[in-house]
Amino acid sequence: MINASGVIYNHCIALHKRYYRMWGQHLSCAKLQSHIAKLRKRNSFWQTVGSQAVQDICQRIEKAYQLFFKHNKKGVRPPGFKKVKKYKSFTLKQAGYKFLGSNRVKIGNRVYQFWKSREIEGTVKTLTIKRTPLGELFMVVVVDPSAPLRVNAERSRGVDEGSKPEVEIKTGKIAGFDFGLKAFLTCSDGTKIESPQFFKQSLNAITKASRQHSKKLKGSSNRERARKNLVRKYEDISNRRRDWFWKLAHELTDKFDILCFETLNLKGMQRLWGRKISDLAFGEFIQILEWVAKKKNKLVVFIDQWYPSSKTCSHCGHILESLDLSAREWRCPSCQSVHGRDENAARNIQMVGASTIGLGDVSRATPAIAV
């Protein structure tokens, strides 16, 4: 079914390109869905995929094109063809599946057994089948919880209109964090958290596995075996990094009630420093931290990325005209205080984050305050 979805996806991309060449216009999602529905009736292989999954493929392409139209000046490219073997998933919405109990689900005309990582609570909205590069299959279920649960979740995130963020006060502390290349996080209380840099640790093993894969004959079983070995190396890195992120997120949310971060242009940093930014994976860590903070009723605050956190003196507020990236320490010309670049930025992020959520002024000499 995933392979058939990949074939349909490539056919839709070809129709988009042909339509633009002929008419100079974008093919609408409704026209594409209507045309694919007619083709599907004459193709038995395409009928292995549910009708709603086919509609979802058209909607995915439409979203990709809308992003391209909106952000093409920023380097976003239009959707292109994909190898069918590498096509990852299809999504079913209201129909095409049925849960039978005892961890069994009926998809199409077949019944599959699955292992359930957590209980399915709420009304099932969509069911997505995903395929990993190793060929493993995962079932992702999106549910709509009851209304009271949704309201509580919004309150825990501090998004209720007309009220301040509701934070469960346990430690009474707020902290600012500065992301860096040398230290993964620098806290406003002076502590530094170094990144294990899992990809750098496994670089030799990755290079060796990649070399073995490239030497094998294309299409042979040995090459497929070498490809899976290479994929396992990458998955091991990803799993170890994610495990470290989850542990760090729980450690920080247990220590602080409010955590302040600076919004970063990760794509721009990726262009400048490449593999190092990918290895640090700060964006993935922030997603995990927000999820953990929401569950524990803690608050994650982001300040503007253009705020001069590194160039502002955390003692007197003086702002330097310029500060080279190589300068790790600097002396304030106003109060003569000597600042470490990352520690000073973390304290400024803490103060701006506190003022953003309405906690008032924070003492410039205090790394953590009572809420």
Mean pLDDT, the chain, rounded, equals 84
- Which of helix, strand or coil describes residue 135? coil
Q: How confident is the model at residue 146 (pLDDT cuts 50, 70, 90)?
A: low
Residue with tokens 């909106």: 70
CB count in 10 Å sphere of residue 343? 22
Q: What tokens does 253 get?
A: 């949310």
Q: What tokens does 19 get?
A: 């339509």
Q: What sections of the chain are H helices per DSSP?
A: 2-23, 29-41, 51-71, 147-157, 198-201, 203-215, 221-255, 266-273, 275-280, 282-295, 341-356
Overall average pLDDT of the 342-360 stretch: 78
Tens of pLDDT, residue by residue over 121-130, are 888 899 999 9
Asked whether the beta carbons of 265 and 302 are under 8 A apart, the reply is no
φ/ψ of 157, rounded to 5, equals -85, -10
Share of the chain above pLDDT 90, in %: 47
The Cα angle at residue 310 between residues 305 and 312, in degrees rounded to 5: 105
Distance CA 59, CA 57 (A): 5
Single-letter code of the amino acid located at 212: Q
Identify the residue with better confidence: 178 or 165.
178
Is residue 369's pLDDT more than 60?
no
Share of the chain above pLDDT 70, in %: 88
Question: Which of 227, 224, 299, 285 shows the shortest CA–CA distance to 257?
Answer: 299
Tens of pLDDT, residue by residue over 13-23, are 999 999 999 99
φ/ψ of 127, rounded to 5, equals -130, 120
Single-letter code of the amino acid located at 93: K
Q: Which residues contact 85 (CB under 8 A, 6 or more apart)?
A: 3, 6
Q: What tokens does 366 get?
A: 């205090």
Asked whether the beta carbons of 180 and 342 are under 8 A apart, the reply is yes
Long-range contacts (CB closer than 8 Å, 24 or more residues apart) made by 264-268: 264/179, 264/305, 265/305
CA 356, 360, 366, 370 torsion-angle sign: negative
Asked whether the beta carbons of 227 and 132 are under 8 A apart, the reply is no
The CA–CA distances, whole Å, from 33 to 3, 8, 12, 52 equal: 19, 11, 9, 10
Q: How confident is the model at residue 161 (pLDDT cuts 50, 70, 90)?
A: very low
Distance CA 301, CA 362 (A): 15
Tens of pLDDT, residue by residue over 234-283, are 999 999 999 999 999 999 999 998 899 988 887 778 788 888 888 888 98
Terminal Cα distance for the chain, rounded: 54
Tens of pLDDT, residue by residue over 283-335, are 899 999 999 999 998 988 888 877 777 777 777 777 777 776 666 776 777 77
CB count in 10 Å sphere of residue 212? 16
Question: Which of 193, 210, 198, 185 shows the shortest CA–CA distance to 276?
Answer: 198
- Which of helix, strand or coil describes residue 127? strand
Is residue 151's pLDDT more than 50?
no
